[in-house]
Amino acid sequence: MRSAAFCDALLDLEPFLEGSSGEIISPQSGPLTITSGPSGGSDGIRLSLVIPTYCEATNINPLLEQLIELLEPRLRGAYELIVVDDDSPDRTWEVAAALRYPQVRVVRRQGERGLASAVVRGWQVARGDILAVMDADLQHPPEANWGLYQEMMRGADLAGATRNVGGGGVSDWSIQRRVVSRAAQLLGLLLLPEVFGRVSDPMSGFFMVRRSAIAGVSLSPIGYKILMEVVARGRVRWIGEVPYEFRERVEGETKLTYRICLEYLLHLLRLRWSLSSASSTIRYGIVGVFTLIVDTAILYCLSDPGQLGWSLSLAKLIGAQPVLVLAFWIHEHWTFARTARPADQVLQRALAFTAVSWLGLGATLMILLPLVHWASLNPYWANAIAILVVSKMTHWLNRHITWAEVSAPPDLQLTELGPLDSERAKRLRQARGSEFPPPGGEGL
């Protein structure tokens, strides 16, 4: 039976229900990257809650009703519920669209599967500054969303619902399931301590994250565990946590299979490899060796008497240009891909990189020419030595100027978040000067 609060919420929305079309949105394709702002404008939306589904036709209606009953009196239309369905045989996507709630948007995916990627596809069409996710099977209590939202309003970059603190729990799980869950978390802690050590329930699929924390970040999740992907790759400073009790499924079938366990392991290994090799110094060195080989090959073609026979100085100046373009592209998309930086300032970074590179090129020539003309060293060996000597300087400049990390989002981003903006802005200004504890006392 629908509660009085839900009925009141529907009465408030009655003018908007007329002519609601139940339109089904096509998902984006391509990289799993979130933009810094919604492409179609926010329309006053603050919270975008994504609900990934597969064969949840019996659960989706009561879940959406409970969420509207919870959020409508508090946010008054400043939220949206995005159902992302993987073309369910029970036509969950059609059931959700037929409900005709104005806050509900439905994305039907065909040809792409996986809960974690479905979440990101939902975030890609979201309009809110706060992005959220929860399961559709009613095992995540809808009422916990308000606690998560309050943590976000207090200044958290990410707020996670957790079963592993006081007030949380796992209901009537069997001993076997508890052992499997703890073993999986222990494995994650061993492989990814810098991720699993930051949250008490890293395998939760119930959380909210600020758009600015993952904007421009290339996400690459496998399987179901999206939270550890966000914490590992995102720019997450403050983490808040809200306890909840994981409920038993009432309708439908569990999706926990051996395949899910394998995908979890593969996801852990991928993140471990990515984070281990994510050091900009290591990656910069790898790119440096590669571009050195390319640069030497071009220098040979331009300066060797048996080839074009240009002067060494001219060959170096001209031949370095395509190498610089190649190096910038690799650094932007790989070396510094995880660095917190504005996604819309690629041109500024390109100009800064060009200035640093020309400074390095001048220093390289000052080393290269004396080694060749005065020390009679082979020009290609001399070129390699000069580049290696200068690379430490260019790496330092690029790391601290071209791809300088942004420590906190500007206060301007907070102006649309509500009455607690000034408090968060004050905290962020303090953060720029010193380290401080996250909201609620949760350790990072």
Q: Is residue 219 part of a domain?
A: yes
Shared domain for 308 and 423, answered yes or no, is: no
Per-position b or e across 82-91, b if 16+ CB within 10 A of its CB? bbbbbebebe
- Can you tell me the mean pLDDT for 132-136? 95
Joined tokens for residue 244: 């909840």
Residues 433 and 389 both lie in one domain: no
- 86 and 151 assigned to the same domain: yes
Does a structural domain hold residue 242? yes
Q: Which residue has the higher pLDDT, 130 or 29?
A: 130
Strand order of the β-sheet with 158-162 is 24-25, 104-108, 79-85, 47-53, 130-133, 207-210, 158-162, 239-243
Residue 211 Cα to chain centre, angstroms? 8
| pLDDT for position 253 | 56
Q: Which residue has the tokens 């403050």?
A: 238
Whether residue 158 sits in one domain with residue 93: yes
| pLDDT tens digits for range 384-395 | 888 888 988 888
Q: Is residue 149 scored above 90 in pLDDT?
A: yes
Question: Which of 236, 255, 275 corresponds to the end of one domain?
Answer: 275
The b-or-e profile of 303-312 (16+ CB within 10 A means b, else e) is: beeeeeebeb
The reply to whether 269 and 358 lie within a common domain is no
pLDDT higher than threshold 60 for residue 248: yes
For residues 337 and 233, the model is more confident at: 233
Asked if 140 and 122 sit in the same domain, the reply is yes
**Do 327 and 240 fall within a single domain?**
no
Same domain, 63 and 98: yes
- Segments forming the whole domain that contains residue 433: 411-441
Q: Does any domain span residue 212?
A: yes
Note the pLDDT of residue 416.
36
Strands 130-133 and 47-53: what pairing?
parallel
Decide if pLDDT at 234 tops 50.
Answer: yes
Co-location of 419 and 388 in the same domain: no
Residues 6+ apart with CB under 8 A from 103: 13, 68, 71, 72, 77, 79, 80, 81
Claim: this prediction has a pTM higher than 0.85: no
| 241, 275, 309 - which closes a domain | 275
Cα 278 from Cα 296, distance rounded (Å): 27
pLDDT of residue 124: 95
427 vs 94: CA distance, rounded Å: 44
Is residue 1 included in any domain, yes or no? no
Do 163 and 288 have their domain in common? no
62 or 270, which is more confident: 62
Number of domains composing the chain: 3
Q: Which amino acid is at 196?
A: F
CATH of the domain at 258: 3.90.550.10
Q: Where is the domain boundary, 250, 275, 300? A: 275
Q: Over the range 101-133, which residues count as b (16 or more CB within 10 Å of their CB) and which as e?
A: bebbbbbbbeeeebbbbbbbbbbbbbbbbbbbb
**Better-predicted residue by pLDDT, 49 or 193:** 49
Residue 185 within a domain: yes
How do residues 103-121 score in pLDDT, each as one tens digit? 999 999 998 888 889 999 9
Q: How many helices (H) and strands (E) does the chain have?
A: 15, 8
- 260 in a structural domain: yes
pLDDT, tens digit, 9 for 90 and up, residues 272-299: 877 765 566 777 888 888 898 999 999 9
Q: How confident is the model at residue 40 (pLDDT cuts 50, 70, 90)?
A: low
Q: Domain for residue 18, yes or no? A: yes
Q: Is residue 338 part of a domain?
A: yes
Which of 243, 93, 71 is CA-nearest to residue 168?
Answer: 243
200 plus 229 within the same structural domain: yes
Is 243 in contact with 166 (CB distance < 8 Å)?
A: yes
pLDDT tens-digit series, residues 308-362: 989 988 999 999 999 999 999 998 888 887 665 676 788 999 999 999 999 999 9
Whether residue 292 sits in one domain with residue 269: no
Q: Which residues pair with 410 in a beta bridge?
A: none
